[in-house]
Structure 1
Amino acid sequence: MKRALLVIDIQKDYFPGGKMELVGSEEASLRARELIDGFRKGGEELIHIQHIVQSPNAPFFGAGTPGAEIHPNVQPLPGERLLVKHHVNAFKDTPLQTWLREKGITDVVICGMMTSMCVDAATRAAADLGFNTHVAADACAAPDLRSGSEIIPGRTVHNAFLAALGSLVARVESTRDILSRRG
């Protein structure tokens, strides 16, 4: 087994005061930081992913805006890979799959934001591409969502997506459990 950590879209717009605040973003970013530190210490592959929306009417993550910046809790170090993406799925129109294959990666660990969108898309894509896929449940966050007149709490959205991913797509586990195994 050779692992890579994908840190997906932990950007300022998802935090308090941002344009798309998520439920539990601060806590999730701190768990993601633990994963990053563990992967760095173990010399394992680490890829930071940043979503940039190229439309001038971007609701969040607009190119060149402060909200699109990587959050300070998970800043890449000089020399670490940073992948900029323009779609929900981190594998779409990016070199991500090529990078992972070139490094001989068999297992992908995913953390980040939003559980219900970019984390879900990357997890499903990684599994479809044949990677053993893991999601750090406590290192992800989701927003409150509206369905008609009903507001679905972000914690419920997060748990529902993790339950779906964990049923057939990926192994959903805690940061602590992921870090207890070495790649």
Structure 2
Amino acid sequence: MSKQALIVVDIQNDYFPTGKWPLVGIDAAADNAARIIQATRDAGDLVVHIRHEFTRNDAPFFLPNSEGAKLHPKVINRTDEPVVLKHFINSFRETELKAILDQHDIDELLIVGAMSHMCIDGITRAAVDFGYKATVIHDACASRDLEFNGITVPAAQVHAAFMAALGFGYATVVSTAAYLQSAA
């Protein structure tokens, strides 16, 4: 029988409107993530929180030991839920994440968080490379406008492009409502 864990990636204060690096739609994404967290807790499954900090004090956001680097109150961990500190885009890189998952015999990951085009993409691809089955809850993730070659790419298009790519070859990509309905 498969064992699933929820991975809550980088839903931290700096990504919210008063933070240093606000994302488009982060409040709605965090609300959906909170719904997924509650459903996962109710099912008795493992919830693992990922918290990103840069290692240098001149970083644009997530400064070491700052208020902005703390988990947002909407998705705060319980004392029995591990919080993995990372310093890279890929949540598996130089962290204890894989050891935690292995300790709990996890083979399926449910992924929510930020940013869609960076850390969600990174963890999803790495998870599949490690042999996990991955599901991304697309409306529990957020992104921001990007710029390429003088063109501004709106956050909604950035998010859609990354969700489409993950859904093409790496993960099942579903909405909060669809996931909760299927899990009921």
TM-score, normalized by length of structure 1? 0.97
- For residue 26 of structure 1, report the CA deviation from its aligned partner: 0.3
- Matches of 1:19 and 1:155, distance apart in 2: 20
- Matches of 1:156 and 1:54, distance apart in 2: 30
Paired position in structure 2 for 1:136: 137
The answer to whether the aligner puts 1:154 opposite 2:155 as a matched pair is yes
The answer to whether the aligner puts 1:67 opposite 2:68 as a matched pair is yes
Structure 1, unmatched stretches of 5+, are none
- Matches of 1:38 and 1:63, distance apart in 2: 31
The answer to whether the aligner puts 1:13 opposite 2:14 as a matched pair is yes
- Matches of 2:110 and 2:80, distance apart in 1: 20
- For residue 148 of structure 1, report the CA deviation from its aligned partner: 2.2
- For residue 23 of structure 1, report the CA deviation from its aligned partner: 0.7
- Matches of 2:147 and 2:15, distance apart in 1: 17
- Matches of 2:48 and 2:137, distance apart in 1: 15
- For residue 101 of structure 1, report the CA deviation from its aligned partner: 1.4
Aligned positions, number: 183
Paired position in structure 2 for 1:53: 54
Paired position in structure 1 for 2:81: 80
Identity %: 41
Secondary structure, counterpart of 1:180 in structure 2: helix
Deviates more, 1:145-154 or 1:132-141: 145-154
Structure 2, unmatched stretches of 5+, are none
- Matches of 1:67 and 1:157, distance apart in 2: 24
- Matches of 1:71 and 1:94, distance apart in 2: 21
CA RMSD for the aligned pairs?
1.2
TM-score, normalized by length of structure 2? 0.96
- Matches of 2:105 and 2:182, distance apart in 1: 18
